[in-house]
Amino acid sequence: MPGLGVVLVGDDPASQSYVRAKERACENIGIYSDDNRLPAETSEAELLALVNRMNTDHKINGILVQLPLPKHINESKVLMAINPAKDVDGFHPMNIGKMVAGEKAFLPCTPHGIIQLLLRSGVKIEGAEVVVVGRSNIVGKPIANMLIQKSATGNATVTICHTRTRSLAEHTRRADILIAAAGRPNTVTADMVKDGVVVIDVGVNRVEDATKKKGYRLVGDVDFEAVKEKASLITPVPGGVGPMTITMLLYNTVESAKAAAGT
Ligand code: NAP
């Protein structure tokens, strides 16, 4: 049975709900999950000790440390401590380096999920003009990198935009495939896209909504209702990239278990 070690430090509500969803998904497909909820005051040394224990625990094939970590913990030190062979989030520099070099590696789950969404929806990536809004280490940079690889899942021409981009709309209007990962509602509006564009909305934003029991609802970075009229394909929020991210985490964990078993 494949095993996933899950670590959540602190009580950030969004992180709690992501971790719950990941654990539920593990349970659904028969992955054992070693659930570690630690208080926000947990020291860096305690967290590193836990990661080290999981690094050598044969029941655990993948280690997931939910980000962000509290400010007093050095995130990159913790990610570096994860055994690259169990780095199912694909955030260890060894896996990032391999990904950039086009070698076999654990691919980060959100960008890998995006590639699978495109492939399985029959979207032609090769030669496509792709515009990525956002340059984070977990979404923008890796998805741009994966799409420029000289491979069957790459060969796109990619533009990366961020807050210092001079005219965002000038770039987004060129996109055959537009990937929005800015973390801000309405970053992409209908006037910013061309007819027939394929839109991948990565954003998950809470906006106040008094009609909801929780007092908020989730929206993406794209003005879905207006942009869907011009797009040939568009992912919803929730229900698009999020579930695919979890799926690729499970995929990486199963791959890791297979490698550990020598199959
Ligand atoms: P992040 O680290 O905050 O990065 C946001 C990026 O967007 C930055 O590079 C920022 O530019 C850029 N940006 C922000 N506003 C912009 C604007 N108006 N115009 C152009 N660029 C803009 O965020 P992240 O971790 O990549 O996450 C992005 C969103 O995706 C969030 O809503 C997050 O919750 C969501 N997310 C969802 C999943 C999932 O599984 N569904 C997974 C990961 C993330 P600068 O670099 O110049 O600041």
Report which DSSP code applies to 67. S
The finding on whether 245 has its CB within 6 A of some atom of ligand 1 is yes
Q: In the chain, which stretches have pLDDT less than 70?
A: none
Residue 208 phi, psi (nearest 5): -55, 140
Percentage with pLDDT > 70 across the chain: 100
Give the Å distance between the CA of 182 and the centre of ligand 1.
3
CA distances from residue 32 to 254, 255, 259, 261 in whole angstroms, order as listed: 11, 14, 17, 16
Distance 136 CA to ligand 1 centre (A): 6
Q: Is 139 in the pocket of ligand 1 (CB under 6 A)?
A: yes
Whether residue 253 contacts residue 4, with contact meaning beta carbons closer than 8 Å, is answered with: yes
Extract the tokens encoding 131: 């515009």
* Beta carbon of 164 within 6 Å of any ligand 1 atom: yes
Q: What is the pLDDT of residue 34?
A: 96
The predicted pLDDT at position 263 comes to 79
Residue nearest to atom 1 of ligand 1 (CA): 136
HEC string of 125-161 equals CCCCEEEEECCCCCCHHHHHHHHHCCCCCCCCEEEEE
Residues belonging to the active site: 22, 66, 89
Give the separation between CA 230 and CA 130, rounded to whole angstroms: 17
pTM beyond 0.85, yes or no = yes
pLDDT score recorded for residue 122 = 98
Q: What is the pLDDT, as a whole number, of residue 107? A: 98
Query: Alpha carbon of 181 to those of 19, 39, 126, 192: distances in Å?
Result: 20, 29, 21, 15
- State which amino acid sits at residue 241: V
Q: Smallest Cα–Cα separation from 129: which of 149, 157, 148, 152? A: 157
Measured in residues, the chain has a length of 263
The atom number, within ligand 1, closest to the CA of 241 reads: 41
pLDDT at 24: 96
Cβ of 166 below 6 Å from ligand 1:
no
* pLDDT on residue 208: 96
Contact 140, 160 (CB under 8 A): yes
